[in-house]
Amino acid sequence: MNNTNIGIRVNKVDNQEKTSGSAKYIADLKFDNMLYGKTIRSTKARAKIQAIHYPVLPKEYFIIDHNDVPGQNRVKFLVNDQPFLAETMVNYIGEPILLIVGPNRQKLKELANKITIEYQPLAAALTYTESLQCTGGAIFGTDNKFASYAYEKGDVSLAFSQAKTIETDEYTTGYQKHAYLENQGMIAVPEADDKVTVYGSMQCPYYIKRALEQALALPEEKVRIVQTTTGGAFGGKEDYPSILAGHAAIAAKKVGRPVAILYDRLEDMASTTRRHPAQITFQTALDESGKIIGMKIDVILDGGAYAGISDVVLQRSLFNITGVYHIQNLEVHGCVVATNTIPNGAFRGFGAPQAFFAMEMHMEMLAKKLQKNPLDYKKLHIVKQGDTTATSGLFLDKVPLPEMLETIEKMSDYTKRYELYQKNRNHHGIGISLFLHGCGFTGSGERDIIKARIKLRRQANSKQVEILAANVDMGQGLKTTFKKIVAGALAIPMTDISFNNPDTDQVPDSGPTVASRSIMIVGKLLEDASRKLKARWQEKGAIEITQAYKQPERMHWDSEKSRGDAYPAYAWGINVVEATVDPLTLQVDVNGVWTVFDIGQAIDEQIIQGQIEGGVLQGLGYANMEVMTNDKSGKIMQDNLTSYTIPTMVDFGKVNHKLFTTYYNDGPFGAKGAGELTLIGAAPAYAAAVAQALKIHIDRLPVTPEYLLEVLQNENHFLYAK
Amino acid sequence: MVKTYLPHTWQEALFIRGNDDTMLLAGGTDLMVKYHGGPGIIGNFPKPLLFLSHISSLKTINVQTDSITIGSNVTLNEAAAITALPLILKQAIRQMASPAIRNVGTLIGNVCNASPAGDTLPPLYILDARLTVESLSGTRQIALADFIQGPGKIGLKANEIVRCLTIARQNNTVCFYKKVGMRKAAAISKLSFAAIAQKTDQKITYIAAALGAVGPTIIRSKEAENLLTGKTEILTDTWETMHTIYNSLLCPIDDKRSSTIYRKTIALNLLAYFYKEYLWQ
Amino acid sequence: MKTISFTLNNQPVSIQTNLQKRLVDVLRENFALTGVKEGCGEGECGACAVLANHKLINSCITPIGSVEQLDIMSIEGFRDTERYHILAAAFAEAGAVQCGFCTPGMLLAAEALLHVNASPNEPEIRQALSGNLCRCTGYSMIVDAVKIAAKNGDGLW
């Protein structure tokens, strides 16, 4: 069924409450008898806790430590390695050790400052090298590897033996911090009969629910999670909230009163997850014409001190490492390693921004060496429908890149300008990136782990329809788009549909709000359920329809061998960035940004525009001004919004964008995923533009003026002579 | 919690200042960040606070034919709005912080904060700003370059308050300002450069240049500037000497924002550009 | 503790407080005005922005002592005006609201701008809102919203 009118923009359903300031975020809520909680954290990157000295606590003030965890003191995730509250060891600066809870925040701070902890410091592993050498002993397992994967395709040895040249190249990418405007927070409220309800800012109510069932040793019906209006997330509220909710709930259980733990910016920056830094090495075999005939690729990610979801980030990095290119002979290795730093986590793109930066810049490097135009060189290798993916799956759908390239050329004049700047640089450059994003969970995650279900409910003698799903609106407009899908399929007005902030007492587990899956996977369940409801609409009684996820038949994935279709569908993107470098200061001015995206059918074109402009700016920030480092002791150096600089309104101009509309049969109204795609391409396009402007090669993110100076001095380019 | 004072007259303020060891707060945009405690928490100020914000006489702006006097409560935006204010200072103010901070933060507050990266300082140094400082015992004037003694250190006694700042009105024919930060707004400077010059018949009659955030205090070299006074061009030898002078004065640090080598290299680039090209356009 | 009197959302108010208490805490706690957000506590993000005598200030770095006799307006006061309705409708039309956390601050920053410049051009809009951070929208749709409001609010500002 094809309703191409669905994309026409509507006013979002939650505009009013947000513009008027009446929307309630977690820090805006108060409960009777509520106490505040403050987290006491490790000041050492790695140490044994020898003793803790407490001040005398006034009435109504309590300390909570690991002994107060009723169930398992382990945050339920892929691996149960991370404690809610440290026991005898700490593994990163910022690791939670204790909570102090009480009615007055001023007093809490005073008391917290009086708690002294005696540590026996141990040797910390802070770099990839130290981690792989297990400096100070392994932090995780026996070899410090949270996960490692290897896969191959074709015959790499043969390809390398037949190669005319072999090029080796290495890339590194740094941290990125979500910097959502609303800091993380949770309020846990003990209810009658041992039940506990936790309210907060989150992406995944059911992740939290399961983590708390394990931490509190409570059955399902005793743990209720309710999402409050969430002020941005971008992946940063995917896994961390389970820890925070756990803290609040453990404290609430102990003291028998509601406990609010609300982070301020300093604590949020210094304690919550960051994007995994990466180091990616390519060995590429080229034939006489310069075409790639084989690649050996190695990826290492820095996972921080605990496993979290690093395994899955590594997978996405590895399975997309060859970008949009058809590489027939391939050997890929990768691991994500433990260091004594803040555990890293999900961030829009989830391993793909790192991979695509590396591959796109590698292609730039190869093209330059062969003295070819980068786009022409890339075009020689672009995948086509029917080609195998890196993991020997298939590109089952038409690959729209050739047509999208035509569009972006018309929009940006890329080739003309590229050639102009090659002849007459004048510190200008223009760069292009081609990329994709596999929508939905990697591999068989949807089918085997998530098993998403939604419900549609219509009461007896009513025309009101209720959407019951656990996915959250975190700004991306899900409240509006879910309603649009159901309204479109049922042919009823959006105002007859309700979709409340998920409450796990009310809604089934439709899976987390991650992986660009909400529209494509959950939206499809809503569409299918709606069509079933439509067929039964005339029934008099109450109707409740449950719809459960079924993996598309055409998708085949072997998780043991990392082989097959890692994703059910791909969304595609092309970005062009034009930039000018100031020869005096090496600061970069972005003069133009053009984007073309294929996300299938837009459920709302204006909401997609918001995702494009927001995602591209995050990608440009990642490329240029978002510097995040650790000092020699492993402590974060940029822990506020003054020193971690995200783009302001004057840093970049408009993004010129067009959608290339296709139709994905297994998506609602033909829609695919869009949330992460829009961030991936900006950094490589930016880097390519700056590389052209300065006639250098760029192999690192962020591309700071300091780094550019280093490269110029190394390559003996004098930009502005003495 | 420390004591606080909210005087409504200048005399009252001087009296309090003379009788208690206080910390002065005008706009508060620096102090409230420095001592911020968090949501629901009052910051831990180390000394009793003396609010200057309600002394209306400190809002005075006095524009004379050859000078401008700006009171201690004049905000950055109010200062930038003075028509006669030298362009070099306006440019620096306009690129500072954010509109909301410029509505509250004061020009003299930025001076007294004496940050090595203080954005108003390079322009004020080259405008030879003077401060009027008062106490119950009297008034004195002090040159800005003498007032600022080090990072966060000013020559203000515990019983004194800065009343106003005076700069000469200028007829600058050349004006060059560059702030280098991590982004185009709301950025602490990695370094900044301010330079002005006056020419009569192609000859330089006055020239001054200063750099910020490349040393513990503002870097300025009258020795280098004097090499060009009276000149109509710059000779290679002259530039080499100037380069040597500045090279020995620049001592930037490595920090979370930038590196020694970047700051030094770009500072020298900007000096070269100004002295060799921009000045003679 | 001292008594501080000021005007808040068009009402005269008086509170007994420590002078160094932050305006954002006074507004959110003493007056339950939770439309004023705290995003950074350092005057960097603008989510806490309110109007003081119609000028934009960051309430998280404003001590209440400085507020004596000032005319303070938060989003809760502003939303009663016709200018708010024009701006809110413009933000809706332009799709400029995503997570909403920066939104009240953005509206007040727009109001502060339009109050002194009723038909700003794009650079002027971007400059006036340069102290309000947004992580969701990429800003251009907010700029469009202010342009739409300026056009539709002809005569109001």
- Which H, E and C letters describe B120-173, residue by residue? CHHHHHHCCCEEEEEECCEEEEEEHHHHEEECCEECCCCCCEEEEEEEECCCCC
By the 8 A CB rule, do A408 and A598 touch?
no
Q: Which helix (H) or strand (E) holds A199?
A: strand A196-200
Interface A:C, Cβ pairs < 8 A: 168
| Test mutation, C136, C142, C146, C147, chain A, max A CBs within 10 A | C136
Q: Do domains A31-122+184-262 and A278-442+561-717 have the same CATH topology?
A: no
Q: Does A643 touch chain C (CB under 8 A)?
A: no
Measured distance CA(B273)–CA(B197) in Å, rounded: 14
| CATH classification of the domain holding C60 | 3.10.20.30
User: Do A722 and B268 form a contact (C-beta atoms < 8 A)?
Assistant: yes
In chain B, residues with a C-beta closer than 8 Å to the C-beta of A105 are: 38-41
Domain ranges for chain A: 15-22+445-548, 31-122+184-262, 278-442+561-717
Quick one: residue A433, left, alpha or beta (phi over 0 = left, psi -120 to 50 = alpha)? beta
Q: Kindly state whether residues C96 and C58 are assigned to the same domain.
A: no
Q: Are residues C30 and C11 in the same domain?
A: yes
With vertex at residue B158, the alpha carbon angle to CA B154 and CA B161, rounded to the nearest 5 degrees, is 70
Q: List CB contacts (< 8 A) between C25 and chain B.
A: 39-40
Q: Which residues of A touch C33 (CB under 8 A)?
A: 21
Of C45, C76, C95, the CB nearest to A181: C45
CATH architecture type of domain A278-442+561-717? 2-Layer Sandwich (3.30)
Give the CATH class of A31-122+184-262.
alpha beta
Domain end call among C33, C60, C77: C77
Q: Find chain A residues with C-beta within 8 A of B272's C-beta.
A: 720-722
The pLDDT value recorded for residue B147 is 98
* Residues sharing a CB contact under 8 Å with residue B93, sequence separation 6 or more, in sequence order: B76, B77, B79, B80, B102, B107, B119, B120
How many Cα neighbours within 13 Å face the side chain of A421? Answer: 24
Phi, psi of A309 (to 5 degrees): -105, 25
3-state secondary structure (DSSP) of residue A382? strand
For residue B102, the distance in angstroms to the closest alpha carbon of chain C comes to 9
What is d(CA A173, CA A622) in angstroms, rounded to the nearest whole number? 9
Residue (of A438, A334, A332) closest to A383 by Cα position:
A438
Chains that touch C (3 or more CB pairs under 8 A): A, B
Three-class SS state of A299:
strand
* Residue-wise pLDDT tens digits, C75-88: 999 999 999 999 99
Q: Clarify whether residues C55 and C71 are in a common domain.
A: yes
- Note the Cα B36 to chain centre separation in Å: 24
User: How far is C-alpha A200 from the geometric centre of its chain's CA atoms?
Assistant: 19
Identify which of A17, A27, A477 has the shortest CB distance to residue C98.
A477
Query: Which residue from A664, A634, A650 is spatially nearest to A589, judged by alpha carbons?
Result: A650
pLDDT of residue B171: 85
Last residue in a domain, options C77, C104, C129? C77
Strands of A222-357 (E only): list them. 223-227, 259-262, 278-286, 292-304, 330-338
Q: Report the percent of chain C where pLDDT is more than 70.
A: 100
Residue A1 confidence (pLDDT): 40
Structural tokens at position B93: 């103010």
- Looking at the fold, whether C8 and C26 belong to one and the same domain comes out as yes
**pLDDT confidence of residue A720:** 63
CATH 3.30.365.10 fits A15-22+445-548, yes or no: yes
**Residue at a domain's end among C54, C77, C100:** C77
What does the alpha-carbon distance between residue A11 and residue A34 come to, in Å, rounded to a whole number?
A: 37
3-state secondary structure A609-663: HHHHHHHHHHHHHHHHCCCCCECCCCCECCCCCCCCCCCCCCCCCCEEEEECCCC
Find the closest chain A residue to B266 by CA distance.
A585
Nearest by CB to B266, from A105, A109, A584: name it. Answer: A584
Q: What number of CA atoms fall less than 13 Å from residue A677's CA on the CB side?
A: 31
Q: Say if residue C41 is in the same domain as residue C23.
A: yes
> Quick check: is C29 in a domain?
yes
The SS3 of residue A50 is strand
Co-location of C54 and C22 in the same domain: yes
What does the pLDDT average to over B35-49? Answer: 96
pLDDT at C154: 86
Q: What is the mean pLDDT of each run of 10 residues along chain A (722 residues)?
A: 79 98 98 98 98 98 98 94 98 98 98 98 98 97 97 98 97 98 98 97 98 98 98 98 98 98 98 98 98 98 98 97 98 98 98 98 97 97 98 96 98 98 95 97 92 96 95 98 98 97 98 97 98 95 97 91 95 98 97 98 98 98 97 97 97 97 96 97 98 96 97 75 49
Q: How many CB atoms lie within 10 A of CB B57?
A: 14
Q: What is the pLDDT of residue A715?
A: 78
* Spatial distance between the Cα atoms of B217 and B223, rounded to a whole number of angstroms: 17
Report the number of distinct structural domains present in chain C.
2
Beta strands, E only, A46-184 = 47-53, 62-64, 89-90, 96-102, 116-121, 145-153, 165-173
Residue C127 resides in a domain? yes
pLDDT tens for A485-511 read: 999 999 999 999 999 999 999 999 999
How open is the CA angle B68-B74-B77, to the nearest 5 degrees?
95
Place of tokens 């009013």: A16
Q: Is the same domain home to C27 and C48? A: yes
CB A490 within 8 A of CB A3: no
Is residue C115 domain-shared with residue C147, that is, in the same domain? Answer: yes
- Test A649 with C101 for CB contact under 8 angstroms: no
* Residue of chain C minimizing CA distance to B73: C66
Instruction: State the best of C101, C113, C148 to mutate against chain A, taking most chain A CBs within 10 Å.
Output: C101
Residues C10, C73: one domain? Answer: yes
Please judge whether B40 and C18 are an interchain contact, meaning their C-beta atoms are less than 8 angstroms apart.
no
Asked whether residue C157 is domain-assigned, the answer is no
H helices then E strands: how many in chain B?
Answer: 11, 14
Residue C132 belongs to domain spanning: 82-152
Are both C123 and C57 inside the same structural domain? no
- Separation of first and last alpha carbons in chain C: 39
Q: How many residues does chain A have?
A: 722
Q: Are residues C30 and C11 part of one domain?
A: yes
> Tell me, what amino acid is at A597?
F
Contact assignment for C39 to A182 by CB distance below 8 Å? yes
How far apart (Å, rounded) are the C-alpha atoms in residues A35 and A40?
Answer: 16
Q: Are A195 and A222 in contact (CB under 8 A)?
A: yes
Say yes or no: B36 contacts chain C, CB-CB below 8 A. Answer: yes
Residue C132 lies in a domain: yes
Please indicate whether, in this complex, the C-beta atoms of A607 and C39 are within 8 angstroms of each other: no
Spatial distance between the Cα atoms of A254 and A276, rounded to a whole number of angstroms: 35
Q: Are A300 and A75 in contact (CB under 8 A)?
A: no
pLDDT of residue A3: 55
C6 and C64, same domain (yes or no): yes
Give this prediction's pTM.
0.97
